[in-house]
Chains A and B, each alone.
Chain A
Amino acid sequence: MTRSPGWTLLRDQLTTTRPALVRVLVWSAVEALPSLLSGLLIAAATDQGFLAGRPAVGFAWLAAFAAAVGVRAYAARAAFPYVAAVVEPLRDALVRRVVRSALGRAEPTGDGPAEVARLTEQVESARQLTATLLRTLRSVGITVLAAVLGLAVLAPVTLPLVLPPLLLGGLLFARLLGPLVDRQRAVVLADERVAAEAGLAFAGVRDITACGAQARVERSVGAAVLAQGAAVRALGRAAALRTLTVAIGGRLPLLLVVAAAPWLVDHRQLTTGQLLGVAAYLVQQLEPAVRSLAGMVGSWLLELAVVLDRLATLPDPPDRPASGQEPTSGQEVRVHGLHHTHGAAAEPVFSALDLALAPGEHLAVVGPSGAGKSTLAALLAGLVPPQQGTVTVGGAAPHTLPDQARAGLVALLPQEAYLFTGTVGENLRWLRPDATDRQLTEAAELLGASELLDRLGGPAAELPDPATLSAGERQLLALVRTYLSPAPVVVLDEATCHLDAPAEAVAEAAFAVRPGTLVVIAHRIGSALRADRVLLLDAGRGLTARHGDLQVLSPLYRELVGHWLGATLPQPDGLSIVPGP
């Protein structure tokens, strides 16, 4: 348990806030003052005061006790800022970790908002649990120590009756901890499975009804529900065993001392007041401390262990190269012998793909869905390393370049446009921070985004929530941004799919006259008509030629173009559309 990744994470983080942690511990020691003194003071108040017929002396001792309690209250108050100084940085570190890991992934995975919600919840419960443990566990631990210490001072004769069962209880607790952690973890996993399966099923109620799959889904989600119930019951069984540690460690000492009391008092080993003091230590300090240690604190620790483990095993962001061979010769794009599969057993997406683009050339990539067009785009932009073969731009392999250099060489614009909360200008200058307002408006004009830019209030206007824009408007802004990028090679990966055909034509025409090389992953066949050359990807092969030549060379391409024409409605006014040469 101590070697688990979660504890390592916690330890590393707590090391950075050690001064605060030390202060928390110091104040905790002060807080334990009444625990240490309670028995001694009660014994003194009884023996020297109340039983000696001098109540004033008894009150004086109790006043001393009151003072000790005042000190405890002050210490509790003083410790709080330091608890915060340990816990808040811990939460910050966990949040940073979650965000880094999430943004470090290669592809968006998981279930988006639901996953973010789950992570937020886990970070929050790590914070709460750590704080509670810092406040409770330490005080409980110190209370046990203080009580034992107080007993040793007040009535050392009782120690042989108290310590053995206490230690035995402690050993038993430690022994039971491992299975408990396992079962707690099993419950967490079972909970997650229920949530995942039910979430999936509820999202698909329409489809389940449409396919008549109610019985199958009910069985499968029901199995997850039953498994979760079984896991909870198993945890309950383990926890029931744990209550025995309280009986042994917390209550057995009391029984032993009380049973031996008549003999001890008769043999003048213990005064009545001392006996009352011992009882105060055992009943009011030791037993509650052991009980909360084994009960709540135990399960909090387990919960924290599980949560921290989950946060600690989030994947680290991959290391990016800090330096690589800088591009040397021009901006020529070369692809040689490229081969890519999604998994060892799967058929290759494409193999032995070759391609050479002269600087300034305009290429369209077409092919059926799933032919690997987006994979090719990612390879060209250096987002993924080639499995076999090479990709070079200006003589450099993009995936080996540092992030900034890579982005400065190839600008890839994917289908889903990314806009963030900030001003419109900040969003548009994302790839070129030094672009002037004039450059922004010029680019917007060229791409047909002027009207949108005006409507948003110009570059200086705030974009409070990007989600309020339509998908097409977001793509338009992302196109302007990409147009402004200093990169000599631009790859548009279905980046115009939410625009209508005329708007797409305007945007592509603007990119075609932009200096530099342009690769368009085509969503509509119109993109192929506008390109210098067309790369047809199909069944793992690539064929590059001019549009006209490709129609001669490839039956699939002919079919593709022909079908596109056939799909248009016969126009009553006889408007004809003539493809390529």
Chain B
Amino acid sequence: MRGWVIVLSVAVPVEAAATLALPGAVGVAIDGGSALPLAAVLLVGALAGAFATLAGPAVAADTTVGLRLRLLRRVLDRGPVPGGPATGDLTARLVGSAADAGGALPSRITAATALLTSLGAVLGLALLSPWLAAAFFAGVLPGVVLIRLFLRDAAQAFTRYQQVQSELAARLTGALAGLRSIHAAGAREAETARVLAPLPRLAEAGHALWQTQRRTVWQATLLVALVELSVLSTAGLQLSNGTLRPGELAAAAGWAALGLGFFEQVEALAGVAHARAGRDRVAELLALPAPPPGGRDLPAGPGELTLIGVSVEGLLGPLDLTVPGGRTVALVGRSGSGKSLLAAVAGGLRAPDSGLVLVDGVPLTELTPGQRRLAVGYAFERPVLVGATVGEALEGAAATETRAARADGFLARMPLGDDTPTTELRLSGGELQRLGLARLLAQRPRVMILDDATSSLDLATEHQVTEALALATAGRTRLVVAHRPGAAARADLVAWLDGGRLRALAPHTTLVKDPEYRAALGPALAAAPAVVPAPRSAS
């Protein structure tokens, strides 16, 4: 890394110096001097250019890779943080911003060098004759104004263009979500036309954008020519009165062109700004705190889960809860009562604002990452499979585990079985949940937290999964977020949550006499057909 930085910071200025020296060397040779300086300048320039081209991407790539790896580790160490940057934002920062930031050093070196080259060229003109430099500046100043005007106009036209563009993208996204309906209705042509409806407006905005550019470009062309001509005329005049030699006129023309290269540096400066913005966006994430990993091991124990004085400001607790080793506690409550939040806190997915979460007497935060994995595991309502293949994403779940989760059937129907790439999976919510359960079984933690983990299964499958799961997890501690009465009835104890507080901890059979408790389980009752019209078939 450092080696390439040195190569880059030597090669770029050397190449620039060679470029700068070129008109002078040409002038010397034309005026009858040796061609050797020119040969030297050209050779050095070519070599320096090659090294700069080699070192630039190497420096950028090293920086980018380093930033990406740090960012990746930070995000994974931090874990899920509510209110943190969204997935898309994180990905954009790792992919886009880190790449932009990688270009920081090369773009700074390049921009600084280019600026110096332009200055050097003007200096060269001034050394030949102050009049030449004056002629140069006479033309350059209006150019600065022109560039400012362009940036303003272009920004407006571009905003309009982007608006239409995103309207079109939104229509396409909507149509893609309804693709099956569109095919079923035989409406592919019609819907294609509907998505494409904003296209004429996009073209209109595009043409407006070209208009802006057109104005600037031809004015800039004139301006550049004006500068060159005013330098050339001045040089010609001095040639005729003998104060300038022919080779010096050639040098003047060359330096005038190099000096005008200043205008192209608007782009290089934009690159520097771009890289700085990227670096800031990455740094923002790297500055986010991540909890330090603990160093303790899990002592032998039954898997007792203890929550002491746990609270999340305004949402949960403070509450105490103990799930005895090997027992099942169901979390019941209306939506918004804090069930899922408590489930997240209990397994260390979310740090409580105060209080402690212990497994077999050891705070979760003090365990090593490996030991934590053995202490608590989760199954979710909508599991996300992470891994290149199904097998990897299931943490190496064996046949017994996929069978227990009732995932063996549809896994067998996949084209490549365990090696099926996760990107090619088209799973229903129920299938996904069963894979989430298989993954949890493969992890074999002492405490299992099931957060609505079977809600998408049809009742028959849920029944089968529940039975198989009960067998497969016998002896393990379980905390179950329950939406259906059956799950609450099967638990040893029900923790009834109301407004973030623990309202009661008792068996379902005791609580069920309370109408308010039944109301808390209400949505589940709506799932049962309370009102069923008589079947139409003759009975």
Contacts and interface: CB of A to CB of B under 8 A. Distances in A.
Given A217-B386, A501-B530, A343 B414 contact: yes
B398 interface: no
Given A107-B180, A211-B395, A113 B173 contact: yes
A424 interface: no
B532 interface: yes
A272 B247 CA distance: 9
A126 to B, nearest CB: 13
Given A108-B179, A198-B72, A210-B380, A258 B461 contact: no
A322 interface: no
Contacts of B369: 212, 214-215
Contacts of A120: 165, 168-169
B386 A201 contact: yes
A88 B205 CA distance: 10
A236 B57 contact: yes
Interface string B164-181: 010011011111111111
B61 A233 contact: yes
A317 B191 CA distance: 13
Given A207-B386, A211-B395, A240 B51 contact: yes
B54 A218 contact: no
Contacts of A255: 35, 38-39, 42
A49 B440 CA distance: 90
A346 B453 CA distance: 27
Interface in A284-314: 284, 288
Interface in A197-219: 198-218
Interface string B298-334: 0000000000000000000000000000000000000
A574 interface: no
Interface string B409-429: 110111111000011001010
B206 interface: yes
Interface in A459-503: 466-467, 478, 500-502
Contact of B207 (A53, A84, A369, A575): A84
Contact of B530 (A320, A502, A532): A502
Q: How large is the interface on A (under 10, 10 to 19, 20 to 34, 35 or more residues)?
A: 35 or more
Contacts of A49: 236, 240
A415 to B, nearest CB: 8
B297 interface: no
A283 interface: yes
Q: Which of B210, B423, B525, B528 has the most CB of A within 10 A?
A: B528
Interface in A224-280: 225-226, 228-230, 232-233, 235-237, 239-244, 246-247, 251-252, 254-255, 258-259, 261-262, 272-273, 275-276, 279-280
Contact of A116 (B50, B169, B526, B529): B169
Interface in B486-531: 486, 512, 518, 521, 524-531
A419 interface: yes
B246 A526 contact: no
A109 to B, nearest CB: 8
A157 interface: no
Interface stretch (A6-14, A69-77, A148-156, A449-457): A69-77
A62 interface: yes
B284 interface: no
Contact of A83 (B42, B210, B524, B539): B210
Which 6 pairs from chain A and chain B are nearest by CB?
A: A418-B178, A212-B373, A343-B415, A403-B186, A236-B57, A581-B539
27 contacts: A42-B253, A65-B232, A100-B192, A103-B195, A108-B179, A117-B169, A194-B95, A196-B423, A205-B80, A214-B369, A239-B57, A261-B29, A283-B253, A283-B254, A342-B413, A342-B414, A344-B415, A378-B180, A413-B181, A414-B184, A420-B171, A478-B181, A501-B526, A505-B531, A525-B529, A569-B518, A581-B539
